[in-house]
Structures are given as C-alpha cells and as structure tokens.
Amino acid sequence: MAVPAQDLPARVRIHEVGARDGLQNEKATVPTEVKAEFIRRLADAGLTTIEATSFVHPRWVPQLADAEQLFPQVADLPVTLPVLVPNERGLERALALGARHVAVFASATESFAKANLNRTVDESLAMFEPVVHRAKDAGSAVRGYVSMCFGDPWEGPVPVHQVVRVCKALRDMGCDELSLGDTIGVATPGHVQSLLAELNEEGVPTSALAVHFHDTYGQALSNTLAALQHGVATVDASAGGLGGCPYAKSATGNLATEDLVWMLQGLGIDTGVDLGRLTATSVWMAGRLGRPSPSRTVKALGKTTQSHQE
Amino acid sequence: MAVPAQDLPARVRIHEVGARDGLQNEKATVPTEVKAEFIRRLADAGLTTIEATSFVHPRWVPQLADAEQLFPQVADLPVTLPVLVPNERGLERALALGARHVAVFASATESFAKANLNRTVDESLAMFEPVVHRAKDAGSAVRGYVSMCFGDPWEGPVPVHQVVRVCKALRDMGCDELSLGDTIGVATPGHVQSLLAELNEEGVPTSALAVHFHDTYGQALSNTLAALQHGVATVDASAGGLGGCPYAKSATGNLATEDLVWMLQGLGIDTGVDLGRLTATSVWMAGRLGRPSPSRTVKALGKTTQSHQE
C-alpha cells in the first residue's frame, strides 16, 4: 500500500554504487565476469544509473584493477554507467573505452584530502580542474563526489561553510552533479537540511545535488528522508548494502538500495526498480562474496526471492 | 554537533522496551538477577521509563515467568516501570506488587487478535475494559498497545480507519497513552503521518500517542522521524535492538534505542540518556545472550565503550 507524504519528489533516481563503491570496500576480489553479471542483473532489476568501476591506479584499489576488461563487457547495456576518474590519465583511459559519465572524488576536509589524495583540498581541486574541463570538452557528464560532508574521523564535525566552498569550486569548474557524502555515517536530519539550505543560498540548486549516506550508526534512511523533504531527487545507494562488512566494529556500509526502495515504494515514489529482482541479485552476490547481505530488507525478503535467484 | 530541524519536539521520552518486549522474543531464557541488573543499568544510563516485565501466564511467555521475583528487585529504582497485564488476574498480580503503570495489548486486526489473544478484536476490547477500569481505580496509569497498525502478515495492509476504531475504543475505556505498533516493520513515513492525522481528526490527541517501530525492513528510524515531525514525543525502543535475532530470515527486531538516541542527540533533542553508558549496557547484555547486538550504533561505538562496560 503506497501512502504518499507531502512535498516529496514524484520520482527519485537511484545512483547505484554497489559495483564500484561497494566492491572497492570488500575484502574479496571479485572476478571480472561476476562483476559484469552483477551490473547486468542490476540493470535488469530496473536501475538506470549504475556506477561501474574506477580508473584509479591498480596499486591503490586492486579490487577494481580490471576496469579496462570490465567496462567493454557492460558498455552496451541501456543504462548510464558512470566511472570514477582520479586524474587526467584515468580520464583518458575511461574516454578511450567510450565512457560518457565520469566522476571525480573530492574531500571537504584537509585530513581526508591528505589521507586519500595526498594533497591539500586546494591542491586536489586544482588537480580536478583540467580533468573536469577535458571531460566536458569530450562531451562527458561529470559528477563531483564530496566526502566527509558532515563529520571527519580526524577533525570531528565539519563546518557547513567548508563543504559549501568545495561544492562551489566543483560547480564552478563544470561539475553537473555533486554527491554529498557522509563518509563516516555520523549525520542526522537537521545537519542534512542545514547543509542543503546553505548550498541553495550560495547558488547551488537542489536539482544538481545527490546525497550519499552511510549506515554506520543506522542513520542513512532517515537522513535520506530529510533530503527528499528538501527536494533532493537523486540518492546514492549500494545493492545489498555492499561495502563495509557489517560484522566489523568499524562497519561503514552504504545505504542498502533495497531499504531505500522499500521506503520509496511505500511513499509512492517512482524509481523503476523491481524490488524482488533487486533482492534476488543481492542474495546472488552475497553468495559470491560468501557472506550475508547487511541489508535488513534483503534479510527479510531474501527467503522468498532466493528460490528464483538463478 | 547538534543541528536542530524545524518543528520537532524539544524533548522526547523514550519508552524502553528491551527488558520486556526484547527479552520476551529472545530464545535464551535470562536469569532473574541478570534482568534486574539490566534494568538497573538502563536506569543508570538515564532512561526514565523502563518496561520491566509481563504478568501473562508463564505458559504463554516462559521468558518472563519470573515477573513476581523480578519486579520487587527493581521497584525501588527512581524510574517509571510499566508492566504488561493481559487480563484481570495479571493486573491483580501486578497491583499486589505495587505496579503503578500497566499496559494492555490490543490488535488492530482480526487475524492477529485471533492468533495472539484467541479472540475477535471486539472480544479482546471487552476483555480489556474491566482491566483498564480496575487499574485506573487503583491509581495506575494505563498504556494501550495496538499491534499491526500498518500491515498484518495474514491480511496485508491495514486500513487506517480500522486502527482508529481500536484506538478510540481504548481511549474511551480510559487508556492514558496508546502505542502504535508496526509489528512486522512494513510501515513507511507517509503511512505513519496519515494514521497520526486521522487519529487527530477523530479526537485522539498527539500528546496521547507513542510510536513503536520495528526494523525488519530498515524503516524504523525514518518512520520515527516522520512521527516526530507530526509532534509525537514518546518513542518506544529496545536497548541494543533486543528482540528478534538479526540473523534469522524473519528478523523482526525493535528499533535500537542507541540508533534512536544518536539521531535525537544530533537533532539537539533532549532525552536524558547517556549514549556511552547505554551502549556499554547493550554490549554487556549481548555478552549475556551470547550474540552481538544488531544495533548499528552499538556495533560502531561498542569498541570504544567495551573497555568500561563492567
């Protein structure tokens, strides 16, 4: 039974990150054919934006070292397949394979910029500028990830103006969409709405914003609801909650796409996703990874869909 | 960093159900002294309403067969200690021990009334009426639980008017507070807000309402946010998410108190709860039950609080 709530978007686009952000953070290295099959099943379940892989140096992210082999195997799917590009070299590799949606990965904090990119925030923005320009010139859409938008493990709470500055810089260099990441999962709904309002005031429209929540403290879905109430209509999620083991003390799992779809379906918000097929895909993938999905919806529905998973 | 959101209550009272609803649904039978210690630790963590036990027939709920032994061990705590009473006999046992807050347990659906109480909805309401009257006469406050307020495993979605009818009947017989239960965890925020609005229209004030969500599909906290936005200021939760094994296919865990407190703290809403102490209590209890807590916040914080748990 779908019961709409007031002032929510009629349609939400899910930006599925399981194959990239999810698998990048899994210990197991997944064979290229399994990744391709995973992406095909996600498309078959109705997801229309499926982040496929990352063209970073294999030394940094060995889990995604097969980007060159994987991308051509899925490139013909009738869906949008963004890929992560860390620099100009990664962008050229992606463009050469026909990628037409790329993403750069910035940080709102100096500590994480240093840890993740070995640069200051400004140095990393300077590194991304030619990447974004070249991508736009080549006809590619560009997403800018902004991590640590709410809290940072070294710096604690992150001031809103600091996040806004990075977002504006990415918009100014040409990013079409920004994904606001709560990388350590500490955000709560008031903080989410205050960041969104401040971004609007500084000229960044809600239509250019996506949210990317982690479920470390169980807050991802309520933060998503707060963002939808502000008008955000693009939500990042990871099929089955892939990425970050739920049994580790420092679990940092992504919002599970199934838990998100359950809420959106109940609200009568169109996503195009078939929840049964998606759950079956996550059950299948959990089998390949050798551990159960941390998604509550997959746990609850998995029993009924497991029978037609293959 | 606390960032308030608009139009939320300044203070929320948490109705802690771990010792009753939680332990009632755990497979392990917990020794009486451990239950008493659990309740003392919950009080020490700042919880002010701790549902202690149930005076049902031991044959139905063997996990809580020690109500007579347990209640006197905690009765001197400076907190409110509601107990469940299924009928007049249970009520007399509770009153004799000095209980001054009791709760009856109704169903919004015929199927669950039959399964749980072996009566029709109307027969069960008729059974509760003298219980509520006698309790009020004895100076006790009375809470009415209403289960299956959103969906029912046999009947599917539950019409709002059906829930409203049961709620009005319980109010008319004298219940001070109603707890709206999403027993199978299927609710979504629009459905929550529509039920609350309909109850208001039919004369049941929000101040008399509590919400009781289950995390079966990961929806409990976003539904809670929707209820807070409607003005609800009493929320049921279970320390550590006790009640319903997270590894079972049919997991039906309660909203974890820690996940709730994380959100409320982030919103600057006062609960009086010390999250560190509460987490330590849940880690301690998980040790007694021999399995990890399903609460994401307990998982994330447990590492840091485990050292001072004893």
Chain segment B29-39, per-residue pLDDT in tens:
899 999 999 99
In a domain, B3, yes or no: no
Q: For residue B217, give the nearest of A185, A292, A297 by CB distance.
A: A297
Report the residue of chain B nearest A152, measured CA to CA: B1
Q: Inspect the interface and report whether the beta carbons of B259 and A219 lie closer than 8 Å.
A: yes
In a domain, A5, yes or no: no
Alpha helices in B138-188 (DSSP H): 160-172
Q: For residue B263, give the nearest of A3, A222, A224 by CB distance.
A: A222
Report the residue of chain A nearest B245, measured CA to CA: A299
Residue pair A232/A206 in contact by the 8 Å Cβ criterion: yes
Q: What is the pLDDT, as a whole number, of residue B60? A: 85
- Of the candidates A262, A245, A263, the one whose C-alpha atom is nearest the C-alpha of residue A254 is A245
In a domain, B5, yes or no: no
Q: Would you list the DSSP string of B180-202?
A: EEETTS---HHHHHHHHHHHHHT
SS3 (DSSP) at B61? coil
Q: For residue B300, give the nearest of A193, A251, A256 by CB distance.
A: A251
Measured CA to CA, the distance from residue A305 to residue A180 in angstroms comes to 33
Q: What is the pLDDT, as a whole number, of residue B40? A: 98
Best residue in A161, A214, A221 for a mutation probing chain B (most B CBs within 10 Å): A221
Q: What is the pLDDT, as a whole number, of residue A304? A: 54
Q: Catalytic: which of B149, B167, B175, B245?
A: B245
Q: What is the mean pLDDT of residues B5-19?
A: 95
Query: Across all residues in chain A, what is the average pLDDT?
Result: 93
Tokens read off for A214: 């982690």
Is the per-residue pLDDT at A309 higher than 60? no
What is the DSSP-derived secondary structure letter of residue B22?
I
Closest approach of chain A CAs to the CA of B262, in angstroms? 7
SS3 (DSSP) at A277? helix
In a domain, A4, yes or no: no
Residue of B110 and B305 predicted with greater confidence: B110
Measured CA to CA, the distance from residue A297 to residue B188 in angstroms comes to 13
For tokens 């993740």, name the residue. A116
Residue pair B212/B179 in contact by the 8 Å Cβ criterion: yes
For tokens 């649904």, name the residue. B25
In a domain, B182, yes or no: yes
What is the DSSP-derived secondary structure letter of residue A100?
-
B245 tagged catalytic: yes
B220: confidence class by pLDDT, cuts 50, 70, 90: very high
Report the residue of chain B nearest A252, measured CA to CA: B300
Residue pair A25/A252 in contact by the 8 Å Cβ criterion: yes
- The dihedrals phi and psi of A110, each to the nearest 5 degrees, come to -65, -40
Q: What is the pLDDT, as a whole number, of residue B29? A: 83
- Alpha carbons within 13 A on the beta-carbon side of A152: 21
Is the per-residue pLDDT at B151 higher than 70? yes
Q: What is the mean pLDDT of residues B118-126?
A: 97
Under 8 Å CB pairs connecting chains A and B tally to: 137
Q: Inspect the interface and report whether the beta carbons of A225 and B222 lie closer than 8 Å.
A: yes
For tokens 């640069």, name the residue. A119
In a domain, B4, yes or no: no
Q: Does B259 touch chain A (CB under 8 A)?
A: yes
pLDDT digits (tens, 9 = 90+) for A56-70: 988 888 899 999 999
Report the residue of chain A nearest B293, measured CA to CA: A247
Share of chain A above pLDDT 90, in %: 85
Pair type for strands A156-157 and A151-152: antiparallel
What residues are paired with B256 via a beta bridge?
B238
Q: What is the pLDDT, as a whole number, of residue A245? A: 47
Give the total number of structural domains in chain B: 1
Q: Inspect the interface and report whether the beta carbons of A5 and B226 lie closer than 8 Å.
A: yes
pLDDT digits (tens, 9 = 90+) for A227-286: 999 999 999 999 999 986 444 444 468 999 999 999 999 999 999 999 999 999 999 999
Q: Which residues of B touch A10 (CB under 8 A)?
A: none
Residue pair B241/B298 in contact by the 8 Å Cβ criterion: yes
Cβ burial, residue A50 (10 Å; 0-12/13-18/19+): buried
Cα dihedral A148/A269/B236/B247 (nearest 10): -70
Q: CA distances (Å), A128 to each of A96, A136, A152, A215, in order?
A: 19, 12, 22, 28
Q: What is the mean pLDDT of residues B71-80?
A: 98
Alpha helices in A149-188 (DSSP H): 160-172
Q: What is the mean pLDDT of residues B265-275?
A: 97
Q: What is the pLDDT, as a whole number, of residue A46? A: 98
pLDDT digits (tens, 9 = 90+) for A179-215: 999 999 999 999 999 999 999 999 999 999 999 999 9
Q: Which residues of A touch B303 (CB under 8 A)?
A: 249-250
In a domain, B6, yes or no: no
Q: What is the mean pLDDT of residues A157-178?
A: 98
For B27, the domain range is 13-302
Closest approach of chain A CAs to the CA of B300, in angstroms? 5
Residue pair B83/B99 in contact by the 8 Å Cβ criterion: yes
Measured CA to CA, the distance from residue A245 to residue A72 in angstroms comes to 29
Q: How many residues does chain A have?
A: 310
Q: For residue B233, how many other CB atoms are within 10 A of its CB? A: 17
Measured CA to CA, the distance from residue B125 to residue B110 in angstroms comes to 12
Closest approach of chain B CAs to the CA of A8, in angstroms? 10
CATH number at residue B246: 3.20.20.70
SS3 (DSSP) at A78? coil
Long-range contacts of B115-123 (CB under 8 A, 24+ apart): B115/B154, B116/B147, B117/B86, B121/B166
For tokens 């319903």, name the residue. B244
What is the DSSP-derived secondary structure letter of residue B255?
P
Q: Inspect the interface and report whether the beta carbons of A296 and B215 lie closer than 8 Å.
A: yes
B286's enclosing H/E stretch is: helix B275-289
What is the DSSP-derived secondary structure letter of residue B233?
-
Q: Inspect the interface and report whether the beta carbons of A262 and B219 lie closer than 8 Å.
A: yes
Q: Inspect the interface and report whether the beta carbons of A218 and B297 lie closer than 8 Å.
A: yes
Q: B-contacting residues of A 275-304, CB under 8 Å?
A: 292, 295-297, 299-300, 302-303
Q: What is the pLDDT, as a whole number, of residue B243? A: 85
Q: What is the pLDDT, as a whole number, of residue B244? A: 63
Q: Which residues of B touch A221 (CB under 8 A)?
A: 218-219, 221-222
Best residue in A162, A188, A255 for a mutation probing chain B (most B CBs within 10 Å): A188
- Of the candidates A302, A2, A289, A281, the one whose C-alpha atom is nearest the C-alpha of residue B216 is A302
Q: What is the pLDDT, as a whole number, of residue B246? A: 44
Report the residue of chain B nearest A224, measured CA to CA: B222
B308: confidence class by pLDDT, cuts 50, 70, 90: very low
SS3 (DSSP) at B228? helix
Q: Inspect the interface and report whether the beta carbons of A222 and B247 lie closer than 8 Å.
A: no
Q: What is the pLDDT, as a whole number, of residue A252? A: 62
Q: Does B11 touch chain A (CB under 8 A)?
A: no
pTM: 0.95
Query: Residue type for B307, please?
Result: S
For tokens 């992210």, name the residue. A61
In a domain, A26, yes or no: yes
Is the per-residue pLDDT at B202 higher than 80? yes
Q: What is the pLDDT, as a whole number, of residue A248? A: 43
Q: What is the pLDDT, as a whole number, of residue B229? A: 98
Is the per-residue pLDDT at A293 higher than 70? yes
Q: Does A245 touch chain B (CB under 8 A)?
A: no
Q: Does B157 touch chain A (CB under 8 A)?
A: yes
Q: Does B12 touch chain A (CB under 8 A)?
A: no
Closest approach of chain B CAs to the CA of A20, in angstroms? 23
- Alpha carbons within 13 A on the beta-carbon side of A56: 20
